[in-house]
C-alpha cells in the first residue's frame, strides 16, 4: 500500500460518521414527542386553579359564614357579577393555549348558568289583572313633580313610594291625585291607588331595637316605622299589599357589611306576611338587599320575585346611573306574575320597578 492510499483511507475515516456511536432511534425521540403532546395540559395550571376556585366559590356560596362582617350576605348580594371573571379566565386560557384551564372553566360556567341562566331569557307573558309599581323616590330628589309624572305614565293601578320627605309629600299628593284618587302615607312610605283602599295600618319593622326601645310606647315606635299594610279592592277580590323600606346596609372597614337593622326588618315582615289572612299578597319596596341574600329567607321562602318568575334579565335597580343590584323588589304570594320590568330613570338614585299580576 502506498502512502497515497493510506492517506485517502484516513481521510475517509475522518469524514465518515462513527459507526460505533449510538444512532438516534424512535425510542430516544419519544420523550420529546410526549412532552409536546402533554404541554397544553401542563400550561396554565394557575389559570385552571383559579377557574376551579371560582366555580367552587359560586357553588358553595351558602357555606360562607356571616359571623365575620356578614361575608356570606355580601358575597350573595353580588354573586351574579362573579360571572365576569369567566371571560377573563377564558382569554387567559386561550392566550396560554391551556387545555387544563379550558377544561376547568366548565365548572364555573355550569354553576353560573344553573344559578342565573334562567334570568337571561324573557319569561314575560301578555295580560294581567292588576299592574303594581314601586319606587324609592329618593330623599335628595330635586324633581318630585317630574318623578310623579313619569310614574303616572307607567299606567300602574297601584303605586308604592318610599323615602318620601315631609317637603316632597305635598308635591306627590298633588301630582298623583288625579290619576290615583286613593292613597295612604305612613311616615316615609306611601301607597297610591286607582282602586279603593281599606284596613290600612303601619307595620313594625323593628327599627327601634334594644334596651331603649322597651321604654317607648307603641305609638312612638310606629311614628318611625317605614312599612304599611293595606287592602286593595280589585275586580277579582281583595288584594293585601305591603309597602316597606328596610334599613340601609352599611359597609365600613371595621364593621364590614352591616345589615342588622335590615335583617330585623326582614324577620318582622316575614312574620307579618306569614300571619296574613288574605291568601293574595304583594310586597312592594326598597328592601336594601337582593333575593339571593340568605338574610331574606323569611320572605323568599313564602313569596316569589316577579322579576325571577316573569321578568327579562336581572332587573338591576341601584344605583340608577349604573345599576349593579336589584334591591327594589316586588314579591308576591297567591297570585301569578305575568310580566316584570324596570321603569325609566327619574330624579332618584333608584330605578322604579313594575309588574303585572293575575289570579
pLDDT tens by residue, 43-93: 899 999 999 999 999 999 989 888 777 888 889 999 999 999 999 999 999
Q: Which helix (H) or strand (E) holds 11?
A: helix 3-15
In the predicted model, is pLDDT for residue 27 greater than 50? no
Supply angle C-alpha 207, 304, 336, rounded to 5. Answer: 130
**For position 195, what pLDDT does the model report?**
98
Give the model's confidence band at 184: pLDDT under 50 very low, under 70 low, under 90 confident, else very high: very high
Residues 6+ apart with CB under 8 A from 324: 78, 81, 316, 318
- Among 352, 24, 5, 16, smallest CA distance to 163 is for 352
**For position 219, what pLDDT does the model report?**
55
Q: What is the mean pLDDT of residues 105-114?
A: 97
Q: Which helix (H) or strand (E) holds 327?
A: none
Cα separation, 62 vs 82, in Å, equals: 15
C-alpha cell belonging to residue 97: 393555549
Contact criterion met (CB below 8 Å) for 67 and 14: no
Cα separation, 299 vs 245, in Å, equals: 14
Pick from 40-54, 159-173, 272-286: least confident? 40-54
**For position 10, what pLDDT does the model report?**
46
| Cis ω before 319 (30° cut-off from 0) | yes
Contact criterion met (CB below 8 Å) for 58 and 112: yes
Helix, strand or coil, per DSSP, at residue 204: coil
Give the model confidence (pLDDT) of 29-45 as tens digits.
Answer: 555 555 455 577 888 99
In the predicted model, is pLDDT for residue 13 greater than 50? no
Contact criterion met (CB below 8 Å) for 330 and 144: no
CB-side exposure of 209: number of CA atoms within 13 Å? 13
**For position 225, what pLDDT does the model report?**
85
**For position 35, what pLDDT does the model report?**
45
CB-side exposure of 305: number of CA atoms within 13 Å? 25
- Helix ranges, 215-301 (H): 218-223, 260-274, 297-300
- Among 119, 97, 118, 101, smallest CA distance to 55 is for 101
Amino acid at each position: 500500500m502506498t502512502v497515497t492510499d493510506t492517506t485517502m483511507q484516513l481521510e475517509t475515516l475522518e469524514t465518515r460518521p462513527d459507526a460505533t456511536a449510538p444512532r438516534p432511534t424512535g425510542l430516544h425521540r419519544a420523550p420529546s414527542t410526549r412532552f409536546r403532546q402533554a404541554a397544553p395540559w401542563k400550561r396554565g395550571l394557575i389559570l385552571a386553579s383559579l377557574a376551579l376556585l371560582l366555580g367552587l366559590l359560586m357553588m358553595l356560596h351558602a357555606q360562607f359564614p356571616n359571623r365575620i362582617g356578614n361575608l356570606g350576605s355580601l358575597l350573595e348580594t353580588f354573586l351574579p357579577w362573579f360571572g365576569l371573571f369567566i371571560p377573563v379566565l377564558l382569554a387567559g386560557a386561550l392566550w396560554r393555549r391551556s387545555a387544563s384551564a379550558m377544561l376547568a372553566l366548565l365548572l364555573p360556567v355550569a354553576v353560573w348558568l344553573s344559578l342565573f341562566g334562567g334570568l337571561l331569557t324573557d319569561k314575560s307573558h301578555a295580560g294581567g289583572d292588576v299592574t303594581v309599581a314601586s319606587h324609592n323616590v329618593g330623599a335628595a330628589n330635586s324633581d318630585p313633580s317630574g318623578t310623579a309624572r313619569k310614574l303616572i305614565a307607567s299606567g300602574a293601578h297601584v303605586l308604592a313610594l318610599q323615602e318620601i320627605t315631609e317637603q316632597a309629600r305635598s308635591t306627590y299628593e298633588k301630582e298623583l291625585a288625579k290619576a290615583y284618587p286613593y292613597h295612604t302615607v305612613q311616615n316615609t312610605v306611601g301607597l297610591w291607588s286607582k282602586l279603593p283602599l281599606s284596613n290600612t295600618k303601619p307595620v313594625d319593622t323593628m327599627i327601634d331595637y334594644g334596651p331603649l326601645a322597651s321604654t317607648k310606647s307603641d305609638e312612638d315606635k310606629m311614628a318611625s316605622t317605614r312599612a304599611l299594610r293595606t287592602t286593595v279592592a280589585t275586580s277579582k277580590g281583595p288584594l293585601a299589599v305591603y309597602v316597606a323600606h328596610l334599613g340601609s346596609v352599611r359597609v365600613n372597614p371595621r364593621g364590614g357589611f352591616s345589615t342588622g337593622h335590615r335583617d330585623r326588618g326582614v324577620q318582622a315582615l316575614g312574620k307579618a306576611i306569614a300571619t296574613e289572612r288574605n291568601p293574595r299578597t304583594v310586597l312592594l319596596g326598597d328592601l336594601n338587599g337582593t333575593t339571593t341574600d340568605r338574610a331574606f329567607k323569611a320572605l323568599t321562602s313564602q313569596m316569589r320575585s316577579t322579576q325571577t318568575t316573569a321578568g327579562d334579565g336581572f332587573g338591576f335597580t341601584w344605583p340608577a346611573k349604573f345599576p349593579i343590584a336589584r334591591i327594589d323588589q316586588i314579591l308576591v304570594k297567591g297570585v301569578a306574575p305575568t310580566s316584570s320590568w324596570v321603569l325609566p330613570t327619574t330624579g332618584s338614585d333608584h330605578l322604579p320597578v313594575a309588574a303585572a299580576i293575575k289570579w
